[in-house]
Structure 1
């Protein structure tokens, strides 16, 4: 028996010696084949393209890897300790390898062929930068050797810095600085102990511990990490207790930016790709736009409110869908799975959430909403869908148990039933003095549709186009006090080049002779057609090109006067800027500067300033008098409510409504802000028989301008030389000497 034991002992020793020899041999063979450490000694990560507002607030990020490279000193101590407590609490003591952990992993590997655990932070850096995730003994050997090599060449702090910037943490975020913004909307140095522990739990399994989609699981891991931090004396018992009780506010998907400017960010991205190609997604460029945070938020909110107000006026279209509710307890896995699956294809739109009706009566709905709450809706919250709660409601309108509906917060912490709107709208504003884009909202929800109505939608501008025709008439000697007949008119096919035409005013009524000023203020179609007949549509087509409009989009017919061509909201904003700035052409621009990853400015805009006479496109006298006509619209005309609600006398603009109310516009300005609002359906159809630009788009414009002009001083106009006040109105003597147009009174 002793011989057997001796034999086994010698065999074991021999095996260990042989294993050691093999290990040394493997190290000798593998060491020369180790990769260069250049990837970590000269760290050049893929850093995404980032878009910022003029106030340096991030509004967009593009790239496969969302990363914000941060020096180790900028990471808060609590975050570093949270990471060390769960990943490698002996990090500052070992030399790259924790031998106890490696021995345990090696035994598992020899037994089952796959290694497990025990990777130090240095080993993880080696794996993340140089190796695959394949779990084999060979890969583990290379990982150990690389860890030693890294420790010989880099300081501990540098290794930890590499780890904390490179590690994948879900939601396309790489590194803890990026994760802090994406999950909590904070700079990394603002993280609390509780938030730090939550993020420290992500490296092991970013999908499984993602707090956005698996908050409960993420919370369990966070609490374990907090316990580790306490046990390791990284935090005090009081810190631990406070962190355990802290309510974590995790940001939802798509809400990582504080400013809602998706259309702005996307347009900036397109411009950058045009300028620099597809490599812009990995070069770490920072793009600063001209958009101001306050302006952008005002535009976003104004457009959303305008669309929802319209939608609430035009009736409920019925639930979005229906789901069979299982006969199970509300808190059961079966019920939660059924509800989650029902809502997965009905994504939220900012404050508008989807929900499943669990109980329905004529006076109350109990709805499980996408945020995970059960809400009770009654009273005013049901007013929009009152008819849909009746047992006699049409089947497609009826709200019942299992209906998928939309809810949004209302006053006093209550909810109301709404619906996702079908109508679209856009708002764009410029600085008329420079052309800088101040705000852009291209639609109701960028995630629902990326088509940018502010820049891409070619729509009929309707009566909002009339000021350009009136400006053309001024230079033909037709002054504000000139009389024009607002009477029925029949135009034969010979003149129209097509069918006979009988234009009509919006209300179908006529008022007879009136001044040109009154005709524009009251948006009289018949008077406007007489004006373009007098000056000639060919001349009018040529004249409007001064404002940047394309001739081919505005054929030289009489209908040009009523806005029968097509223009984008951006083009209209540029055109109105010329009235606002006294007659100077402006080139709209969005990007003010571009900075590379090293902080070097590689592009900076240099817009030409208004006042340079080489930029003049409109006679300053014409611009002044046309501006006075547009001020009249806000004083006594179709936009008089703007002056009252804004309590300002220095604004001007024009409403616009096309045939059958397919498009509703308001274009207006202050000397410092030119803004245009459009509303309509993507596939043109009537907005409603009584809908107008003054009723739909003007309120959106007012809501935006309330904030945009909050700090703007009152800016009275300065009369240029060559304009006189005669018989109660402005005249341009040089132009009045030109031929008269008796046909205006016919």
Structure 2
């Protein structure tokens, strides 16, 4: 055989190609050895072939189907969940006597036939458009819910109406895989055994709509004051939208954002009805959003009871979230509404009755809206706390829970005004702060009390020059007298001397909510919001020698299925005892020689009882305060000007009760004294550890200091606060007194020289102070 024949046609072709590449013939390809050098890819391919992968997949599917068949055979439709049955929560006074029963289901089951067909369909359009066609489950949504539960992402939407009804009536609200699987099986069986109308009726009758309303009948009454059979399509669409977030979407309490969201969902419901041809386009275009009626509180919550129950329930929900039993307050609300809780409050029956009596005797009995329209705008709130235990012993939330829903004892939208001044002094003593001429700040330190004196930081004005009450100037005054007379110009300068960031920090440590509060000079006038509950906690911490007191409304919570633990109201030492006791010592002067003198010092029931406290009246007379304490009881009383007509803006209280101006030393101090001295079991004295003795006697305002450069004396005094009659005539109102005390004149120089750093913010340097555009003066 010749060479050409041996090569053959294919060989010749390869030879030609080789010549084209330069005369080299391509070597034949070799198979990769299956030995050690080439086993990688081939081995993996043999291990993971398409046949094996598909086989494994179908095997898992068959296994899952088999498991589901077993579950379907094993799980039956159970009896209704006992927790879905009617229950109540019991609220008790501290002595164990029953205060109220709450939580009994506000629900009336109605036949679906009584609910207009169009209203029925609003719920289907909102939650499950395929309800009338599906098999009762949403496999995709359920699978997503199971995966989210396994991954710890929490609850997700996607359930059908049937599944939601099963969860509400047969199961529980817990987010577990087993519960989701049970829900799936029971829903499938229920859909086969019951009609769609039966399921829809169960769903709309068991769902929670907010405002304590369970079921569509209760919801119709709660939001629109009509029966379910009289609901319009627009109203039904709102109730259907509400189910997504009942409390958030309640029009009466919703934020602007929530109002926008619920209106968007309302539109979504109606548009879905048009899509499903359950509603004509023309009818849809003519529909307007139906704003619900204002909340109507549940019967039995009249007087102070509703305020107390609401405050206790808030604590309960907070604890459920804190313990991880509920993910958020919305879920906690659902758990509380299931009932079964026994909540014992710290409220003392006797003290509660005395506080109500004092408010009536000293305030509400003197208000006559028919004679003075402003009298209808006066709201009172008060909280009384045991500083040794933190227990809230009494609370006054308003004239009547059924007439004024907002709890004035816990609201924090009004300024605490000059009741904030003790916080500034506490920060000064705690930080060993000095005036801008290097003099330590004590009760005897002298400041310039000139009204509208520019506040100095270093050699610069900070743009803040607050006026004193009635624009009165005091000249050189001690810190003690400045506290007695509530001299704004002194404490504004002291805030800069201490450092406003330190002042706000101390406020937070003492118990005020300082989140978002700017550390600017204007805060020295108490311009942030605070509640009587909050201020009672601050002063209780001072009374407790600097050991943190967080007022506790609730004493204990019991439930048959879960344990609820409560935090200790008494916390750690947040400021030193000397700082706390020094402030307490100074505050005795406010009672014995200051703005609370007439209402408290001269009260015939006082019987020598030592008292410390501070008055406060905010800008434009919109709030007035007295927060005071004895060694064993702290009580904060606030009066708030609130327009009695919606939307209830803050308003001045001038002329209310027949007085020119409602000051902290007037009605609030009178209420405080009538209550405190009325519940006293014995006369007690403060146990104070200060460099200034057991209490500081009011100091004489110096007219000509003897030694301007002399430092304050550190020698302790042994003087107790005097209760003797003053040497001059007693003032006829609670305005600052100008009586001259009988003690020695201090010998320090006034603090006028500037300090160093400028503040981060301040008010205008224009002569007319922008904080008081109408000429009114801050208290005092």
The structure with the greater share of residues assigned to strand is 1
- TM-score, length-normalised on structure 2? 0.47
Higher relative contact order (CA 8 A, sep 6+): 2
Greater Rg over alpha carbons, structure: 2
- TM-score, length-normalised on structure 1? 0.49
